[in-house]
Amino acid sequence: MQALLGGSSVLCVMPTGSGKSAIYQVPAMTLPGVAVVISPLIALQHDQAESINRHTGAERARVLNSDLGASEREEAWEAAADDDETGRAKFLFLAPEQLARDDVMERLLGLDVSLLVVDEAHCVSSWGHDFRPDYLQLGHLLRSLRAPVVALTATASRPVQKEIVEGLHLEDPFVLVEGFDRPNISLEVIQYVEDADKDRAVREQVLGLDGPGLVYVATKKAADALAVELKAGGRNADAYHAGRPKNQREAVHDGFLDGRIDVVVATTAFGMGVDKPDVRFVVHADVSDSLDGYYQEIGRAGRDGQPARAVLHYRPEDLSLRRFFASTSASRSQLRELFLLLSAQDRPVSMKKLRELSGLSGRKLTGLVNLLVAGGSVKDGVKGYRARRTSASDAVAGAVEQAENRESIDLSRIEMVRRYAETSRCRRQSLLSYFGDEPADPCGNCDNCSEAGRSADTPDGTAAAREQAPPEAPFDIEAEVEHPQWGRGTVMGYEDHVITVLFDTVGYRTLSLALVTEKDLLVEVQAASR
């Protein structure tokens, strides 16, 4: 709070329910002007606004979204622009897609903005588990408003934190990261050979578990089918995915929160903004596409601090679907046409105008534009996008290279999921090391610690687990290193005589410590530059 009051921006990574909202709400009530809060969920916007109004005893928070009529929207704008500080709205909640509208951007630039708050800030990062292209417009808005920024998220690995800072153009922000560990959640992975055996085990386990819980699956079809089976088995279960109508999704969401539904079978579409403290289990019937997403999903269990379970039902073959989704290629012809279209314009073009000119859908267009920007052939600014002076062939080549790098990185993240699922060491150590937050000792609350404990005749398994510690590390965690083939990277951790490095262009790679030492495969960048 002191950093914000002093005019600095803040990146805050804290678990849900730990008071993140107070970090911006208290300073916003003190500072003159209105705090603009970008939040991706309409339901969450209303909940936060109602909470503020209830605590202040006045209508100091207003919401702007597609559910409102024209008169309600105008009333919200007028309240935010009120010159009388005693009657003005101190908080204005917006969905990120509103920023694609020229009229919204124009009116925001006319407000006296005290703070700009980006909730669920991991959506800014293409590394993140819930990347949303609409969030990419935020960086331009921030530069124009010149107000301190508060970026909030519950989970963000170091690459995600870095991309949030870069994507929002935060200059020397104060970074607050609370520990990622949730020691009350037991971690378990059950491995299968046959898909039918896995499906049967998931169904039987969920039917036997106590309390409300979540089951994550990879497809909409699987969500519907499993929900039906669980209902037939006696559980108050329902499915949630993007293919269901909005009113049905809202009914499932509300039913889970108030207890009428005790099990939600969902794709990754469910969970953001769901703050239900007594979730007793999160079961994954399919693997996630990254440990970022997996940790966010299991973190929805046990927020009341009581014991909870996170179980991953795993077949190595299940990774094939995730690899398929990660292996998307950019269309060279569409990239070329889009670059030539921008080159023909004599002024910057907004995303809305680009949709009209190109005929491409919003998400497809945003992806192509982002590749051209990342490749250096298109410049993005507050007023829109403009082609740089380069050839179409060079523009396409640069964009395709960015797409290939992204695919390599995404595939490497899937590989980290495989390593977690198949590791024999403490799962909490393995998982937290991905976030750079590895505990010194094994947790004693995962299946591997339990197995190690039984074999070593120790109750918590820590003695046996310590015997698996890697040899002395040649580099510190977070050391910047360089590889002759993969270039620069950051040391993320050690496990079972291997070192994990996050490379800038190819993502995560694990290397044998013996080979690294013998062949000098990694050189510390600082040492190399001296």
- Domains in the chain, start-ordered, CATH in brackets? 2-177 (3.40.50.300), 185-323 (3.40.50.300), 332-406 (1.10.10.10), 470-529 (2.30.30)
Instruction: Sort strands 498-503 and 487-495 into parallel, antiparallel or unpaired.
Output: antiparallel
Of 38-52, 56-70, 390-404, where does the model show the most confidence?
390-404
277: Cβ contacts below 8 Å, ≥ 6 apart: 17, 303, 304
Angle at 453 between CA 452 and CA 454, to 5 degrees: 95
Q: Please give the Cα distance from 85 to 129 (Å, whole number).
A: 39
Split at pLDDT 50, 70, 90, the class of 508 is confident
Q: pLDDT at position 248, please?
A: 94
366: exposed, middle or buried (Cβ count in 10 Å: 0-12, 13-18, 19+): buried
Q: What is the largest CA-CA distance in the chain?
A: 75
Question: Which bin fits 107, alpha (ψ -120 to 50), beta or left (φ > 0)?
Answer: alpha
Higher pLDDT, 251 or 121: 251
Tell me the per-residue pLDDT of 267-287, one tens digit each, with 9 for 90 and over.
987 877 677 999 999 999 999
Percent of the chain whose pLDDT exceeds 70: 90
**Whether residue 18 has pLDDT greater than 70:** no
Reported as type and span, the H/E element at residue 281 is strand 281-284
Token pair for residue 261? Answer: 């539904």
Reported as type and span, the H/E element at residue 378 is strand 378-381
**Whether residue 194 has pLDDT greater than 50:** yes
Residue type, 122: H
Closest CA to 528 of 491, 490, 483, 485: 483
Tell me the per-residue pLDDT of 59-111, one tens digit each, with 9 for 90 and over.
889 998 777 778 888 888 888 888 776 778 899 999 887 876 778 888 888 88
Instruction: Sort strands 213-216 and 263-266 into parallel, antiparallel or unpaired.
Output: parallel
Q: Please give the Cα distance from 328 to 509 (Å, whole number).
A: 21
Residue 8's SS3 state is coil
Closest CA to 493 of 433, 425, 419, 416: 433
Annotate 290-316 with b (16+ C-beta within 10 A) or e (fewer): bbbbbbbbbbbbbbeeeebbbbbbbbe
Reported as type and span, the H/E element at residue 25 is helix 20-30
Q: Please give the Cα distance from 367 to 330 (Å, whole number).
A: 9
Higher pLDDT, 451 or 111: 111
195: Cβ contacts below 8 Å, ≥ 6 apart: 315, 317
Q: What is the dihedral of CA 125, 129, 135, 139, to 10 degrees?
A: -20
Residue 138's SS3 state is helix
Report the sign of the C-alpha dihedral through residues 437, 443, 448, 452, in that order: positive
Q: pLDDT at position 372, please?
A: 92
403: Cβ contacts below 8 Å, ≥ 6 apart: 329, 330, 371
Sequence-ordered alpha helix ranges (H) in 359-468: 362-374, 392-422, 427-434, 447-456, 462-466
Token pair for residue 124? Answer: 């800014």
Q: What is the number of alpha carbons within 13 Å of residue 441 lying toward its C-beta?
A: 8
If you average pLDDT over residues 178-184, what whole number do you get?
84
Which residue in the block uniquely carries the two structure tokens 């030492």? 517
Cβ atoms within 10 A of the Cβ of 424, count?
Answer: 13
**Whether residue 228 has pLDDT greater than 50:** yes
**Whether residue 456 has pLDDT greater than 50:** no
Tell me the per-residue pLDDT of 337-388, one tens digit each, with 9 for 90 and over.
999 999 999 899 888 888 889 988 777 888 888 889 889 999 887 678 899 9
Split at pLDDT 50, 70, 90, the class of 471 is low
- Contacts by residues 517-520 (CB-CB < 8 Å, ≥ 24 positions apart): 517/474
153: Cβ contacts below 8 Å, ≥ 6 apart: 12, 13, 120, 121, 122, 160, 164
Q: Which residues pair with 493 in a beta bridge?
A: 500
365 Cα distance to chain centroid? 21
Q: What is the DSSP string of 222-239?
A: HHHHHHHHHHHTT--EEE
Annotate 250-287 with b (16+ C-beta within 10 A) or e (fewer): ebbbebbeeeebbbbbbbbebbbbbebeebbbbbbbbb
Q: Please give the Cα distance from 29 to 27 (Å, whole number).
A: 5
Q: pLDDT at position 158, please?
A: 78
**Whether residue 458 has pLDDT greater than 80:** no
Residue type, 67: D
Q: What is the number of alpha carbons within 13 Å of residue 253 lying toward its C-beta?
A: 20
**Radius of gyration for the alpha carbons in the chain, expressed in angstroms and rounded:** 24
Which residue in the block uniquely carries the two structure tokens 């170091």? 158
Q: pLDDT at position 105, please?
A: 80
**Whether residue 132 has pLDDT greater than 70:** no
Cβ–Cβ under 8 Å, residues 282 and 213: yes
Higher pLDDT, 1 or 506: 506
Token pair for residue 52? Answer: 């503020």
